Amino acid sequence: MADKALRCARLVDVVAGRVLDDQVILIEGERVVDVRPAAEVAFEGELIDLGDVTVTPGLIDLHTHLVGVAACGDYAQELKYSAAQQTLAGVPNARDTLMAGFTTVRDVGTFRAFLDVALRDAIDAGHILGPRMAVAGAYITVKGGGGMVTGLAPDIELPREFRFGQTSSVDDIRERVREIIFNGADLIKVIATGAVLANGTVPGAPELTEPQLRAAVEEASWYGRHVAAHAHGAEGIKRAIRAGVRSIEHACFLDDEGVDLMVEHGTYLSADIWWADWITETGPSQGYDAEQLRKNDETAEAQRTAFAKAVKAGVKIGFGTDAGGFPHGLQARQLATMVEHGMTPVAALRAATLTSAECMGWEDRVGSLTPGRYADLIAIPGALDIQKFQHVPFVMKGGTVVKNELG
């Protein structure tokens, strides 16, 4: 029995890939009971009539970093703040993310281990406002690699919490994976190649071997966890796919063979194809240095070309933005970029909802407005227009309205 209902002029059915007119969403407590045409519903409880809007499931970002003060490309700044400061900085980041319409995120790592676990738990307990979070806890990375705080003098030894996932062998990886899971992580994040913003690393260069990556996947699987692989370079991407990772993050130099492997293995793609624009436009003023700006220029168009190939080939496309490298709350700008590079508006929304939920293994909870799922939804005024998602005026999480600026 529903205790509230929400009526809207249009609803995007991401499962069927179509827009339905004049719908009512029936909600009981936190979850959706049913979705029906308004003409078929006689409801006497609390009715929220949103009028001339388009409703979609709450958006999902597969690649965020909610914890911490923005480093603006200088990873050494991580050492200027205490663990408490970095965790508390995540509070407004989480709120801004939710208010932008992202009701679920996969948070893929912090330099200081397990601060994301604390933020997730505070949200789940209702102490602070934010999206549902799945967290990685710490990066699995090589010493001096893409998951480390780089740019320091060679004689400086980082505290253990900054190198918790540092590894050097297959057996070491298995131990690190277990420890990260035992400390509360929902997924494992491996750094398979160098990174654009980690000074001294080469984005195209592999940093973990295929046996190491396979060990991470196998060990995580014993505990029901998936592995997300940061991978820019073609060889690192293919190693990670063959090893069985759940998703490839970034994928700047994904080649044709890699695309075919992703289709064959059912690997998800989470490519932050809008962020490069932000770095290009604001990088110099935000403190990004010459090396970082050069690597951003070298990877941006290659990534978008690879993304378009993946879309055309039928790769499972999720939605990941790398929020944290840019201000939280701007993630939805990427929807338009995805449309520019081969997706329809409905397909882009499906990527940011149902497909991302499937990548997380949370499709029984979020990602669609089908019975039994959380009543996580957003609304934009008027007809479906992908640009309007940059300013979402209505957000509901778990049946509770957390933002309503519809007027």
Residue range 268-317, pLDDT digits in tens: 999 999 988 988 888 888 778 888 889 888 889 999 999 999 999 999 99
Strand ranges in 38-180 using DSSP code E only, listed in sequence order = 46-49, 53-57, 59-64, 102-107, 132-135, 139-142, 166-167
Nearest to 97 by CA among 294, 327, 325: 327
- Please say if the pLDDT value at position 149 is more than 80: yes
pLDDT attached to residue 109:
92
Neighbours of 85 (CB within 10 A): 11
- Please say if the pLDDT value at position 72 is more than 70: no
Token pair 């994904």: residue = 254
CA distance 212 to 240: 10
pLDDT band with cut points at 50, 70 and 90 for residue 83: very high
* Mean pLDDT, residues 389-400 taken together: 98
CA distance 121 to 131: 11
- Please say if the pLDDT value at position 118 is more than 90: yes
**Over the stretch 214-246, which tens digit does the pLDDT of each residue have?**
999 999 999 999 999 999 999 999 999 999 999
- Would strands 102-107 and 132-135 be described as parallel, antiparallel, or unpaired? parallel
The tokens of 203 are what?
Answer: 């984005």
Of 68-82, 119-133, 213-227, 370-384, the poorest mean pLDDT is in 68-82
Dihedral sign of CA atoms 196, 93, 341, 234 in order: positive
Report in angstroms the alpha-carbon separations of 398 from 273, 283, 363, 395: 30, 37, 15, 10
pLDDT attached to residue 69:
82
CA distance 376 to 362: 13
Partners of 11 in the beta sheet? 20, 55
Neighbours of 277 (CB within 10 A): 15
The tokens of 294 are what?
Answer: 């050069």
Question: In whole angstroms, what separates CA 10 from the centre of its chain?
Answer: 26
230 touches 192 (CB < 8 A): yes
pLDDT attached to residue 199:
78
Torsions phi, psi for 301 (to 5 deg) = -70, -35
Share of the chain above pLDDT 90, in %: 81
The tokens of 116 are what?
Answer: 């994301």
pLDDT band with cut points at 50, 70 and 90 for residue 71: low
Partners of 158 in the beta sheet? none
pLDDT band with cut points at 50, 70 and 90 for residue 73: low
Report in angstroms the alpha-carbon separations of 220 from 165, 176, 286: 14, 10, 37
Average pLDDT, the chain: 94
Q: Exposure of 242 by Cβ count < 10 A (0-12 exposed, 13-18 middle, 19+ buried)?
A: middle
pLDDT attached to residue 298:
87
The tokens of 299 are what?
Answer: 């990877």
pLDDT band with cut points at 50, 70 and 90 for residue 389: very high
